[in-house]
Structure 1
Amino acid sequence: MRSLSITAALVCLALLNSAFAEEKLSMSDADKAMYAELLDNNPAEMEVSEGEQLFGALIGTAGYAKMLGVKEKDLPKYIAGFPRYVEPAKKVVTLAQTIQMAAAASEKPVPKLESKEMVKMSAYVKSIANGQKTNIDVKANKHMAEMMKLGQEVFEERRGGRGLSCNNCHSMDIVGQRLRMQPLPDLGAKETAAAGTWPAYRMTQSQMVTLDKRMQQCMKNALLAEIPLGSKEIVALEVYVTNKTKGNAISVPSVKR
């Protein structure tokens, strides 16, 4: 166990640049200018609008609220509490999974979690809660408590040949150091507000990406097997990460590097 820990630590040190590297290394002047421009003219705004049209044609907010068992006017606050336990599913689910549920309940084609249409609809549904504070409640019931526990286990579990975990790059003693010239963020910080700012437009990929897909990309970069979208483990991981940003405002779509 000690050998594994030392190996993982050495790998992390090899991957990370010095925490004292100059700030200019994190983003070039050209990238900074592009970032500033995207903040004012976010390309993902158009995709969110497309998501609204797709969602309206597939379900609509009235049908969606009915499936969830809430009043349509209460959707913003309710949406801000995801992932959460949903009675029709008998389990804790993400917003994307509730879109699938609503489509199935309406006997409409069920979009796949990885589809472009789902990304756009998920962003639109999340944007309904813009301005609301993330209000996930991991103590609301045994289902949420169990998923919170599992999420922490997944976050801290060392996997792959390098023996890395999510925690290796996002623990408080690592935050601020650099990986690929980019400062590693505190997922719970107000400035980051991880759960409240995804789906987001990624500059490096020129496309909108959901939080669970971003998690998969992290796993791929760390040479870890990607946890499947919609699996209990990936939902639990989203519960854990979302709880870190509880109380921070939701703003979708945001811009990320």
Structure 2
Amino acid sequence: MRSGLLKWVAVALTGALAAPVAAQDSDPIAEYRAMFGDDNPAIFWEMRGEELWKTARGPKNADLSGCDLGLGKGVVAGAYAQLPRYFKDADRVQDLESRIVWCAQTLQGIAPAELLKIRFGNGDDQRSDMEALTAYAVSLSKGRKMAVPFDHPKEKAAYETGRAIFFYRAGPHDFSCSTCHAASGKRIRLQALPNLTDPADARTAYTSWPAYRISQGELRTMEWRLNDCFRQQRLPDLEYGSDAAIALTMFLARNAEGGELTAPALKR
């Protein structure tokens, strides 16, 4: 399947690159996405994630059915639409990925280092349990609207920290997240850049992650997307599940308030 998808994309992009530059109104990315219709290889990550979720594992030989993602123990449906949020048991704001790591450690006895040994898959033989678990949990919120809690002081502090990081310029190119994502109408080659400070753009962009990236043959999570943004800014890797990663996610999730979740989506 993967080789066929990549071959199709190569043909699609070749045609797009050969088109006249003046044809700015067409969107080749949207066109090939539409051709896939409802077919999305992300379903294989969702299926594996569901199996991992319901399988007893770790030193405690337990599954994740008792994991509280914010809506009560065992309630997965709709939970992603209300994350990140403050969790009293952890006494911190957590996003989906950090909460799954926390649940695996407390319920199953799986050390975070073990679960995160492979943070991101390589589209081939290297598979990440976290990407699969995330895909499964997110899929059960598809169609729900973003409604992230914002009452606890730590939730508000996370948002402000995330906003500060978003606009912080650093690295050899003096870039920030806002360099690419704080103005409307920007593009990099064929790729339109959403203005993540604009509610409409933020809703469309945030709610489509995680997503299956055809060009990589891999499902990518929000943690991967933020880390890739840091890579493009030539900054050090963003620590998985760190306060910085959670704060940035909180900033983006709050900006996407009211947006309908379409993730896991399909991207170039």
Q: TM-score under structure 1 normalisation?
A: 0.80
> Structure 1 residues 247, 61: closer, same or farther in 2, change over 3 A?
farther
- Structure that is richer in helix per residue: 1
> Structure 1 residues 241, 80: closer, same or farther in 2, change over 3 A?
same
Query: Would you say the 8 A contact 1:199–1:253 is kept in 2?
Result: yes
User: What are the Cα deviations for residues 160-207 of structure 1, in whole angstroms up to 9, with x where unaligned?
Assistant: 111111111111xx3222113312113343686333221101122221
> Structure 1 residues 190, 248: closer, same or farther in 2, change over 3 A?
farther
User: Residue 85 of structure 1: SS of its match in structure 2?
Assistant: strand
Query: Would you say the 8 A contact 2:203–2:259 is kept in 1?
Result: no
**1:145 counterpart (142, 147, 156):** 156
Unmatched 5+ residue regions in structure 1? 1-19
Alignment-mate amino acid for residue 114 of structure 1? R
> Structure 1 residues 39, 88: closer, same or farther in 2, change over 3 A?
farther
CA shift for structure 1 position 235: 0.8
2:142 maps to 130
2:212 maps to 201
Query: Would you say the 8 A contact 1:134–1:247 is kept in 2?
Result: yes
**2:119 counterpart (87, 98, 114):** 114
Larger RCO (CA under 8 A, 6+ residues apart): 1
Query: Would you say the 8 A contact 2:231–2:237 is kept in 1?
Result: yes
Is residue 194 of structure 2 the alignment partner of residue 185 of structure 1? Answer: yes
Query: Would you say the 8 A contact 2:77–2:140 is kept in 1?
Result: yes
User: What are the Cα deviations for residues 53-101 of structure 1, in whole angstroms up to 9, with x where unaligned?
Assistant: 1111146564123x8571545x434431111111111100111222122
> Structure 1 residues 252, 60: closer, same or farther in 2, change over 3 A?
farther
CA shift for structure 1 position 155: 0.1
User: Residue 23 of structure 1: SS of its match in structure 2?
Assistant: coil
CA shift for structure 1 position 24: 6.4
> Structure 1 residues 114, 77: closer, same or farther in 2, change over 3 A?
same
**1:176 counterpart (172, 182, 185):** 185
Is residue 66 of structure 2 the alignment partner of residue 63 of structure 1? Answer: yes
Matches within 5 A, 1:1-257: 22-23=23-24, 27=28, 34-58=32-56, 60=63, 62-65=65-68, 70=72, 72=74, 75-110=76-111, 111-112=115-116, 114-115=119-120, 116-137=128-149, 139-171=150-182, 174-187=183-196, 188-189=199-200, 193-257=204-268
* Aligned length, in residue pairs: 230
CA RMSD across the alignment: 2.5
CA distance in structure 1 between the aligned counterparts of 2:261 and 2:30, rounded to whole angstroms = 23
CA distance in structure 2 between the aligned counterparts of 1:204 and 1:177, rounded to whole angstroms = 22
Query: Would you say the 8 A contact 1:44–1:253 is kept in 2?
Result: yes
User: Residue 93 of structure 2: SS of its match in structure 1?
Assistant: strand
> Structure 1 residues 87, 119: closer, same or farther in 2, change over 3 A?
same
2:18 maps to none
Query: Would you say the 8 A contact 1:76–1:129 is kept in 2?
Result: yes
Q: What percentage of residue pairs aligned between the two structures are identical?
A: 27
CA distance in structure 2 between the aligned counterparts of 1:238 and 1:126, rounded to whole angstroms = 15
Unmatched 5+ residue regions in structure 2? 1-20, 57-61, 121-127
Q: TM-score under structure 2 normalisation?
A: 0.77
